[in-house]
Amino acid sequence: MCGRFAFWNEKSRILEHYGLDDAAEFKTSYNITPSSQIPVIRQGKSRELANVHWGMVPHWARDTKLQPINARAESITQKPFFRNAFKKHRCLIPVNGYYEWKKLDSHKQPYFIKLKDQELFSFAGIWDCWENPKGSLESCAIITTESSAMTAHIHSRMPVIIQPQNYEAWLTDGGEKFLIPYEEEMESWPVSTQVNNPRHQGEDLIHSVRV
């Protein structure tokens, strides 16, 4: 799964990377947690950045009690909870890296994971808009798949990563062909267990520690 990630880029970098003319203001953090408002890149009449709730609520839901943060690539086209969003509402989720926890004998050790040669990259995501008489909620989930050889020693799952040359195709055409492990080189290192606490937000969270 993917339950925490980091995103610290300035607006100018986001505009350049995603080919946007302008974008709404967004928050950055070294410890983004579920239920946060996070920026996503999606395709409307043109490509746009929107801030949405991390925790998926489909448009047809009776309430907002169930809010999964991840959608499994292997079943996303079959599960009613996700399949309509996968077909019609795909998005890119900008990140600089993410955290995963490795099971050890006595505890779970957090690791920070990133692409080796790209500071900014994108998770594959889906989004939807739930409405009721009191208002609406736009929300999203991160699509996950089996881990690559680079990350399997930490965890059995990883986010689906979309390469920049595939952004347009992912947003406009979609397709299960993109829902595969990222097999190119990645970096990872152990970090402080302070990341377990959502109140900790500083850059020190991604610094390497001894284990």
Task: Please report how many Cα atoms fall inside a 13 Å half-sphere around the Cα of residue 151, on the Cβ side.
Answer: 33
Cα–Cα distance list, 200 to 167, 168, 195, 204 (Å):
32, 35, 6, 9
- What is the arithmetic mean of pLDDT over 153-174? 97
119 is catalytic: no
Cα–Cα distance list, 72 to 76, 104, 131, 170 (Å):
6, 25, 25, 17
Within 10 A of 166 (CB to CB), how many other CB atoms are there?
17
Res. 15 pLDDT band, cuts 50 70 90 = very high
Q: Which of 2, 91, 138, 140 is catalytic?
A: 2
Q: pTM higher than 0.75, yes or no?
A: yes
Helix H, strand E, coil C: the string for the chain is: CCCEEEECCCHHHHHHHHCCCCCCCCCCEEEECCCCEEEEEEECCCEEEEEEEECCCCCCCCCCCCCCCEEECCCCCCCHHHHHHHHHCEEEEEECEEEEEEECCCCEEEEEEEECCCCCEEEEEEEEEEEECCEEEEEEEEEEEECCCCCCCCCCEEECEECHHHHHHHHHCCCHHHCCCCCCCEEEEEECHHHHCCCCCCHHHHCECCC
Report the pLDDT value the prediction gives residue 194, as an integer from 0 to 100: 97
Q: Is the pLDDT of residue 1 over 90?
A: no
Q: What is the percent of the chain where pLDDT is above 90?
A: 94
Q: Which of 91, 100, 138, 140 is catalytic?
A: 100
Q: What is the percent of the chain where pLDDT is above 70?
A: 100
Report the pLDDT value the prediction gives residue 149, as an integer from 0 to 100: 94
- What is the arithmetic mean of pLDDT over 89-96? 98
100 is catalytic: yes
Q: Which domains does the chain have, with CATH numbers?
A: 4-206 (3.90.1680.10)
Report the pLDDT value the prediction gives residue 134, as an integer from 0 to 100: 78
Tokens for 197? 């606490």
* pLDDT tens-digit series, residues 182-205: 999 999 999 999 999 999 999 999
- Return mean pLDDT, the chain: 96
Give φ, ψ of 55 to 5 degrees.
Answer: 145, 105
Pairing of β 47-54 and β 135-146: parallel
Report the pLDDT value the prediction gives residue 174, as an integer from 0 to 100: 86
Note whether 111 and 206 are within 8 A (CB): no
- What is the arithmetic mean of pLDDT over 2-13? 97
- What is the arithmetic mean of pLDDT over 145-152? 96
* pLDDT tens-digit series, residues 36-78: 999 999 998 999 999 999 999 999 999 999 999 999 999 999 9
* pLDDT tens-digit series, residues 165-176: 999 999 999 889
In terms of phi and psi (left: phi > 0; alpha: psi -120 to 50; beta: otherwise), the region of 35 is left
